[in-house]
Structure 1
Amino acid sequence: MDISPENPAPPLAPEPAENTGNAKGTTRIGDRIFLGLSRGSGVLLLAIMAAIAVFLTVRAASAISKDHGNFLTTFEWNANADQPVFGIAVLAFGTVVSSLIAMLIAVPVAIGIALFITHYAPRRLAAPLSYVIDLLAAVPSIVYGLWGALFLVPHLTGLYTWLDSYFGWTGVLAYHGGAARSLFTIGILLAIMILPIVTSVSREVFRQVPRMHEEAALALGATRWEVIRMSVLPFGRSGVISASMLGLGRALGETMAVATVLSPSFLISRSLLDPGGGTFAQNIASSFKESGDLGKDALIASGLVLFVLTLLVNGAARLIIARRKEYTA
């Protein structure tokens, strides 16, 4: 072959790569172990969930079959009587209403704090503020309950009087006196408890917004609020929804703080400021020790309802996120 500057030699063919063991059927032992552990973890989680569901269902069916009232609509809980009567109407109402109040208060505040930390606060202030917010999540629930009973309840009388003066005509916010041990107080307490969860997740999501999106909006003359409205909030919507569902899950199942503050009764009052009401978790914590075998099965039945309610909330959150493809992971 004539090799000259006009006719250079053809490039040599690359040598075949050395077999690294990644071909089909030759997976490395570490990959096989990791695959088995990952698959086993997923199966174990499903097995645990199934075991919990089966246990709750069996015990709940045993209790409901002996109930002399309607389990879904009865306004009474007397599972230790000779003719047991118990129902979850008051418990379901109190659980849902107090959790919704907590969400209405906590989510806007949490989003505002997250936006302030990520887009407004100087670094010297943002770091310690983030630390303080995260520290709230480490406070035990019984401490929140003691604070709520000894400090929050006595100091809410003025707020209740003000609400009654301006919104008492609605009936929902009418105040008839007495200690502020109501579902509205529980909602405020739960809002404080779920605030660090919603804030932390929302803050991390807002930090992931592509910097180029924000700079492009600023280059087009957008104000800082317009940048947040057009770039930050749309990008972080799925994360905020997920954070809100995490907070809602804790609010639905909170036990000791609610049991310490709430004045339980099996009545549904028109006003949210009237003492009384109840939640699933609070009723289980308060009644479990003095309950007999049937009473414990009745409490397990109410726990099954809370279990299903939590699953429905998480399923609804996934449906909301999946409505648009750009929000799905």
Structure 2
Amino acid sequence: MSEKRNGFIRFDNIDEFETYIKNLKIRRKINGLQVHHMALPNYACFYKSKGVTEDELVRTINLDYYGKSKGWSCIAQHFNIFPNGKITTGRDINKTPVGITGWNANKICIEIYGDFDKNKDVMKVEQKEAVIAVYAILCEKLNLTPSTSTIRAHAWFTSGGTYLGDYYKGKSRKTCPGTNFMGFGNSRRAFVNNFYPLIKDYMSNRSSSKKESKEEVKEENKEKYIVRYLQSTLNKVYKCNLVVDGIYGKATKDVVKKHYLKMGDKGEHVVWLQKALINRGYNIEADGSFGNKTKAAVMSYQKSRGLKVDGYVGVDTHSAIVDD
């Protein structure tokens, strides 16, 4: 579930990002999307020793500090896409970005975390899927058709802002988004033959899905992300092999009965609970530790929903959370 810190928002999945974009109020004309990679920080910066990942919001806040150190009012870009597929907001969408000299007005700047030049980082599947989805969702929001007119790489411009129309080593300002971006590179041909079609396919598939979703579906059978997240967490923590279908049915409830949450518990199931409470307005941290603050938030939530106020998060409290 999304989290907000220092004015920035992290989206843990595309559904959250899409909802945000759908409700986003845009007050300036936007007719194009920029494509960048960060180069530094790269994957080595993101992934620490022993597989521990850096917090995406911490990284975004650091990028904001960097932007201010350069004399900018804030972070340069509007969105950041991380190796694990998570997305954060950046600069106010209604402010012109600091991105491509000569092609900033009326544009959105998107930074893709990593260095995708040849022999450097190889984009992870989760990040690739997020990149395609982000550009597709923004194109839909802005009524843009993916093309060389609407989506351009930083590599297609000189330092002075002259549009080259392609990447030319020695002439281009940067290699952004990388000479091996998504495995096909940063050239005009690579974008026309690969990147734009991927975005268009995503948009086309979404259009078909929207038509199908207009059919009436019973509320109890609607797939919910919060339930899919819960099911995935239960599978990971308790090795219970639930079907991740977004339906809070008997199988999921039976696992919750065996693994209810209480004071002193730790781990990713607790993180799921804490993020759910944060999204419902409770001022706690998603630190994975069921301490006094989390218990107080649980009891307050239980009281507000007419549940037994005992601080134990069993089937009834889980049910209330997923039905909110």
Q: TM-score, normalised by structure 1?
A: 0.24
Q: TM-score, normalised by structure 2?
A: 0.24
Radius of gyration: which is bigger?
A: 1
More strand as a share of residues: 2
The structure, 1 or 2, with the larger RCO (C-alpha pairs under 8 Å, 6+ apart) is 1
